[in-house]
Amino acid sequence: MLVHLNRGRDAAVTIGQLQERLGVNRRIVERSIEELRANGRPICSDAGGIWIADTADEVRACADRLNRRLVTQYRTVRALRATAARMRAPVVVQQDLGWEAT
């Protein structure tokens, strides 16, 4: 995988390009990138693609972008779980008896 990545953001390659070059599916490319990062390789990504970072500042900027996505996704997960809980809650139906209790 590493030999298919270029140095610098201007030379970024897309996941689709990596899929074609390697003849594998998207998930395998993503796992490989995760593994390279976990092993300390300075692999950065953004909407333009994936590349090998030249500087620590590039790596920090990538980490910041990924962190913002993580926070947004976490909020979405919490909202969806709350929605699911409300959907499972029993519905209380009040019956209109046509008179008021006094």
Give the residue numbers spanning the domain of 63.
Answer: 2-86
pLDDT (tens digit, 9 = 90+) per residue, 61-70?
999 999 999 9
**This prediction's pTM:** 0.74
59 occurs within a structural domain: yes
Burial class of residue 43 in the structure, from the number of CB atoms within 10 Å of its CB (0-12 exposed, 13-18 middle, 19+ buried)? buried
pLDDT tens-digit readout, 19-39: 999 999 999 999 999 999 999
Quick one: DSSP state of residue 43? E
Q: Does any domain span residue 80?
A: yes
Residue 88's pLDDT is: 85
What is the domain count for the chain?
1
Residue 72 counted as domain residue: yes
Write the CATH number for 27: 1.10.10.10
Question: Does some domain include residue 54?
Answer: yes
Distances (CA, A) of 70 to 7, 22, 95, 98: 25, 28, 45, 53
Residues 6+ apart with CB under 8 A from 76: none
99 part of a folded domain = no
